[in-house]
Amino acid sequence: MQFYPNNMRNEALDKDVYGSPCLPENPKVSVCVITYKHEDYITTCLDSILNQQTNFDFEVILGEDHSPDATPGIVRKYADAYPNRVKAFIRPKNVGAKSNFLHCFLQTKGEYVIYIEGDDYWTDTQKLQKQVDFLDKNPAASACFHNAEIIYEDGSGKPSELINTPQQAIWTNTSDFFKERETWFMATASVMMRRKWVSSLPEWFKDCKSGDIPMYVILAEQGPIGYLPDIMSVYRKNLGGQSFTDSNKSKDFLLNRIFMYTKLNEYTEFKFDQMIRPILAEYHELLIHCSAFKWNYFKQFYHLNQAYKLQAQPNGKTLSMLLKEHIIPTNVVMFYLRTYSFLNRIFKNID
């Protein structure tokens, strides 16, 4: 496995630290919290962390990314109240979600590290203890995660539901992240990792819009990821992010996913190439229909060709199928089929 130096530390952001925190010397666990415009949620999030009952020390590294609402003031209050537990960075200007996350994540010192966004929260005061106990008992595991509840606050009116079903496997391996594109069965706030496997990250990691999938693949390459069926956190699905449907029409989003899966293919030394190629092909097919290429037929044919080359059996039949599905309008295909059928009947009658 190629070694990647930790060159994403971004020490220039250290100056954003608030107050004079005095954290534990050797915390067992580091909790990395990232928040932006979470004035309605951050109190619940931080209380759920600070109320954890453990037989070990843990630290909280908190990055507040220059929110225009009351979030910075709330963060200050917690940093003032818990200087021996909370180290807060309050940005004087917005640095972006990925930079904010990486700076805080690489500040962590615990044997284990867990990442939570400021609008999610934990529901079990024994969560950290249970996960630490699991990893201590399973030294080969690179990480562990647990079940979580999704609460829909996006106006959809959907009832809450659990992320993981009773059929969720106890152990997850690298191949499980390549069974389909956008695979998602691990709530971010549920994952506890061995920090030694993620204290150095590949250079390309910072350029991926998604941090979860690359992070979990990096971990799984070092050891299986365990699962605890306990429901111990809540994932709020609110209006703050771009919907998946909209993302599938975004050129930048789709190109970034191609970049991410290409890099993951390289990182895993092409062991899962036969699983990743169909995923890449799907993203190229989605690009044919993205908003930016609506009238750009050159780009459409380019991505159709890329999708064609990634097929398991690139032949004339496959190319015809791709053309019919993505380039030739449905009404043209139907007209062609009806005309062909009509002419075929005529010629048969003539014979």
Task: Answer yes or no: are the C-beta atoms of 266 and 272 closer than 8 Å.
Answer: no
What the block records as the tokens of 115 is 């990442």
Q: What is the pLDDT of residues 198-208, one digit of tens each?
A: 999 999 999 99
Give the lowest-confidence range in 63-67, 84-88, 283-287, 334-338: 334-338
Is it the case that residue 340 has pLDDT exceeding 80?
A: no
Q: What is the mean pLDDT of residues 27-54?
A: 98
User: In this prediction, what percent of the chain has a pLDDT beyond 90?
Assistant: 71
Is it the case that residue 346 has pLDDT exceeding 80?
A: no
Nearest partner of 27 among 107, 116, 122, judged by Cα: 107
Q: What is the pLDDT of residues 232-283, one digit of tens each?
A: 999 998 765 444 445 778 999 999 999 999 999 999 999 999 999 999 999 9
What the block records as the tokens of 83 is 């200087």
Q: For position 48, what pLDDT does the model report?
A: 98
For the chain, give me the number of helices (H) and strands (E)? 11, 10
DSSP assignment of 84-110 equals TTEEEEE-SS---HHHHHHHHHTT--S
Residue 238 Ramachandran class (φ > 0 left, ψ -120 to 50 alpha, else beta): beta
CA angle in degrees (0–180, nearest 5) for 14-69-73? 55
Q: For position 157, what pLDDT does the model report?
A: 84
Q: Which amino acid is at 283?
A: Y
Is it the case that residue 20 has pLDDT exceeding 80?
A: yes
Greater confidence (315 vs 160) lies with: 160
Residue 129 Ramachandran class (φ > 0 left, ψ -120 to 50 alpha, else beta): alpha
Name the average pLDDT for the chain.
89
Which residue's structure tokens are 């043209």? 332
Q: For position 245, what pLDDT does the model report?
A: 45
CA distance 283 to 182: 11
- Find residue 171's DSSP bridge partners: 226
Q: For position 308, what pLDDT does the model report?
A: 82
- Ordered by where they begin, the domains of the chain are 11-241 (3.90.550.10), 247-335 (no CATH)
CA distance 96 to 34: 11
